[in-house]
Structure 1
């Protein structure tokens, strides 16, 4: 059933011209070089330090590691991270 629902949502995004990430509720991740990362559609900040950012997603978590992290922007649905990004990983529950 879940596979059918996902396929329907993808089809709906195509025919309605609504971005797929909005319809599916998945994160949109934009990495500019190795020093600026923007994440949209996250649920919650789980952990933050100068070397780590962990975010709760609709399905699972997003783990980012690196150096000298600073949160440039933190909004309800978007977060912008500055610093040297070394690793971006999806962790499924």
Structure 2
């Protein structure tokens, strides 16, 4: 109950102060360039990686990216740049 209330307060503050939702609500920011690059900010870590799949932990659920010839070009505590042929980007809610 308390967690839901906190989320409602964050959403209200985000709306009232006109802040980007990813800043206040701990959401991932995902930027894709065609099917060849994907840049993810505000993730919580890599759960699984192969040249055909990467699974990232988010504050709410997971992000699954499927494709071919994946290479992690940059990895920082909350940022990741992935290159390859991206076929699917799926949010998995827990």
Matched with 1:90 is 91
Query: Residue 28 of structure 1 aligns with which residue?
Result: 29
Q: Which digits, 9 at most, give the CA deviation of each residue in 1:39-92, with x for residues without a partner?
A: 111001001111000001111111100001011110111101000000011111
Q: Normalized against structure 2, the TM-score is what?
A: 0.88
Aligned match of 2:63: 62
Q: Relative to structure 2, which stretch is displaced further, 10-19 or 28-37?
A: 10-19
The runs of 5 or more residues in structure 1 that have no matched partner are none
RMSD over aligned Cα, in angstroms?
1.4
Q: How does 1:9-24 map to 2 (within 5 A)?
A: 9-24=10-25
Q: Normalising by structure 1, what TM-score?
A: 0.89
Point out where structure 2 has 5 or more consecutive residues left out of the alignment: none
**Counterpart-to-counterpart distance in 2, 1:82 and 1:40:** 15
